[in-house]
A and B are shown apart, each in its own frame.
Chain A
Amino acid sequence: DGGITQSPKYLFRKEGQNVTLSCEQNLNHDAMYWYRQDPGQGLRLIYYSQIVNDFQKGDIAEGYSVSREKKESFPLTVTSAQKNPTAFYLCASSTGQGSGETQYFGPGTRLLVL
């Protein structure tokens, strides 16, 4: 059963704590993306990766970090430097073949600050 999985579904962060959100895909997609969605707003790009061992900052990368050691996995760490982390985090993937490529989304992780 192919798709994108994200875990956990809900995540609670304490002040000063780093937390890591998991994203795994078995679609054999080259490109993976992390977005943040706040209530009433569209999705904003945090980081993206077009190929293993390479990634680029999106529009709101400050306070976040990523790694892409495997094609299937693109974990996102929300660091203590991110002062307003409460949001719905969405991971997506695509074939990465350029113009026209469609991004497919995982189910999302909702991060809440205690």
Chain B
Amino acid sequence: QKEVEQNSGPLSVPEGAIASLNCTYSDRGSQSFFWYRQYSGKSPELIMFIYSNGDKEDGRFTAQLNKASQYVSLLIRDSQPSDSATYLCAVLSNDYKLSFGAGTTVTVRA
């Protein structure tokens, strides 16, 4: 089974700070990478996806991908209390199956 590992957390950051989430994956042939946000008791919602090495920015979120290191990260700038949630890293392999990490729980302190 393909492995997706995330820093276990929980991660506590003050309001306005940067939250940094990390994810590594085992399948070197993986092509697409996703970050989902999941509030307690709710289903995951897509934040960002990234396919190419480098950075991709969308508002306060930046995804970074390094395929050589098999590493993908998510930065949340100017963290808000509404960002408090569990963030799931997901990796799409060549057989089009999505593998998920266990998630990192982020708490933004007001």
Contacts and interface: CB of A to CB of B under 8 A. Distances in A.
Nearest to B36: A105
B43 A106 contact: yes
Interface residues of A, number: 24
A90 interface: yes
Contact of A107 (B43, B46, B92, B103): B43
B42 A108 contact: yes
B31 A100 contact: yes
A99 interface: yes
Contacts of A98: 96
A11 interface: no
B80 interface: no
Interface stretch (A37-45, A65-73, A75-83): A37-45
Nearest to A42: B100
A44 B102 CA distance: 10
Nearest to B4: A42
B46 A104 contact: yes
A58 B4 contact: no
A105 B96 contact: no
B44 A90 contact: yes
Interface in A23-63: 33, 35, 40-45, 48, 50, 58-59
B43 A41 contact: no
